[in-house]
């Protein structure tokens, strides 16, 4: 392990939990000890929340590492990673904190584990300020698997704010070589759109229909003649905890690009408004000329940095999350990123010469 302690200001750039998650993953993989201070300084409630603490401790367990300052409300941690070990791990913040944010911090760590890994994550499956679990499986999973990683997910129970109570089992197969670089540069025309509109708890199925119908109307105006199929679901009572609603959309292009759009229902917000929000998000991403949506682009950065060779992806205007992910990747590794284009009117090529990480 490197003797030098890398110091990271958590208030930099996006100033949220992303710096914490990405830095921890790189620290675990590269065996570089880190000290992160001003954690989530840009948030209304700074410091570690229960879901962040759960993510930090599961990385500690994966690496048999040493962690200082890991408690709710802490704005500073120091982490000394050990050896990454595959196996079975559980994380449960005891809140509706997103299971997908637990996945984001832990998944990269075990891609190069010594054996298969199984995670049991509990909390919110469809939560605000995080990817919905359906979005990850429909959009992110097939894209990230182009690098050569493999994982599966079994949703045992759905959980919604404020109760949480969801549970998902993730199984990750280790990569025995290096990750392959990816090149996704030609968006092509949209050839089909699919989606999932859901309700749970006391909410009636008509809410799912309202979201789906509004999304379809909006999408047909932009993509006339394209097949649009949105599943409408009332979650079984024994497979969902709490009341929730939302919609996830996926556009497929002739060049194999996958572009998502999503929205969650809220008290006092009409179902039609939720459906339109998701549809407009999807339309904006497609019309930008990008090959991936804005919520996927930043999640690819860590894998581009680890891959062997040059990866190139056409994105829309780079988000602050994407710039933050690049900042952490270049701070923690020797990967070199370039954003080709002005990032305003024209699409941008996100380019990275990866480090070719190997276990």
The number of CA neighbours under 13 Å toward the Cβ of 232 is: 17
CA–CA distances in Å: residue 262 to residues 76, 126, 131 = 33, 10, 9
Give the catalytic positions in this structure: 321
Give the residue from 130, 69, 62 showing the smallest Cα distance to 95. Answer: 130
> Residues 99, 158: contact at Cβ < 8 Å?
no
Dump the DSSP string for 115-144.
S-EEEEEEEBSS-TTS--HHHIIIIIHHHH
296 is in an annotated binding site: yes
Distances (CA, A) of 159 to 96, 109, 116, 267: 7, 25, 26, 17
Contact 251, 197 (CB under 8 A): no
What are the Cα distances from residue 98, in Å, to 54, 132, 182? 11, 8, 28
61 is in an annotated binding site: no
299 is in an annotated binding site: yes
* Residue 297 among known ligand-binding residues: yes
C-beta separation of 53 from 70 below 8 A = yes
Binding-site residues for ATP, please? 104, 295-299
């Amino acid at each position: 392990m490197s003797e030098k302690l890398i110091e990271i200001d958590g208030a930099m750039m996006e100033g949220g939990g992303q710096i914490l998650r990405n830095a921890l993953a790189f620290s675990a993989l590269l065996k570089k000890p880190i000290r992160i201070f001003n954690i989530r300084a840009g948030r209304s409630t700074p410091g570690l929340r229960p879901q962040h603490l759960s993510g930090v401790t599961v990385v500690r367990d994966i690496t048999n590492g040493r962690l200082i300052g890991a408690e709710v409300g802490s704005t500073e941690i120091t982490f000394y990673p050990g050896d990454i070990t595959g196996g079975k791990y559980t994380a449960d913040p005891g809140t509706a904190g997103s299971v997908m944010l637990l996945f984001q911090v832990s998944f990269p760590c075990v891609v190069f584990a010594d054996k298969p890994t199984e995670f049991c994550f509990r909390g919110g499956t469809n939560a605000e300020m995080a990817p919905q679990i359906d979005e990850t499986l429909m959009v992110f999973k097939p894209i990230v698997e182009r690098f050569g990683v493999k994982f599966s997910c079994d949703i045992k129970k759905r959980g919604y704010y404020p109760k949480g109570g969801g549970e998902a089992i993730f199984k990750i197969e280790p990569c025995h070589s290096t990750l392959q670089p990816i090149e996704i540069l030609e968006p092509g025309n949209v050839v089909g759109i699919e989606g999932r509109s859901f309700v749970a708890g006391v909410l009636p199925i008509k809410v799912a229909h309202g979201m789906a119908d509004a999304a379809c109307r909006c999408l047909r105006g932009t993509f006339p003649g394209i097949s649009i199929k949105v599943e409408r679901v009332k979650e079984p009572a024994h497979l969902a905890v709490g009341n929730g609603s939302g919609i996830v959309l996926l556009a497929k292009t002739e060049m194999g690009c996958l572009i998502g759009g999503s929205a969650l229902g809220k008290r006092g917000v009409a179902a039609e408004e939720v459906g339109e929000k998701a549809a407009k998000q999807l339309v904006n991403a497609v019309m930008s000329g990008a090959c991936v949506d804005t919520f996927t682009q930043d999640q690819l950065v860590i894998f581009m940095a680890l891959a062997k060779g040059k990866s190139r992806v056409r994105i829309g205007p780079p988000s602050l999350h994407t710039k933050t992910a690049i900042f952490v990747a270049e701070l923690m590794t020797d990967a070199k990123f370039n954003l080709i284009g002005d990032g305003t009117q024209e699409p941008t090529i996100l380019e990275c010469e990866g480090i070719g990480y190997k276990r």
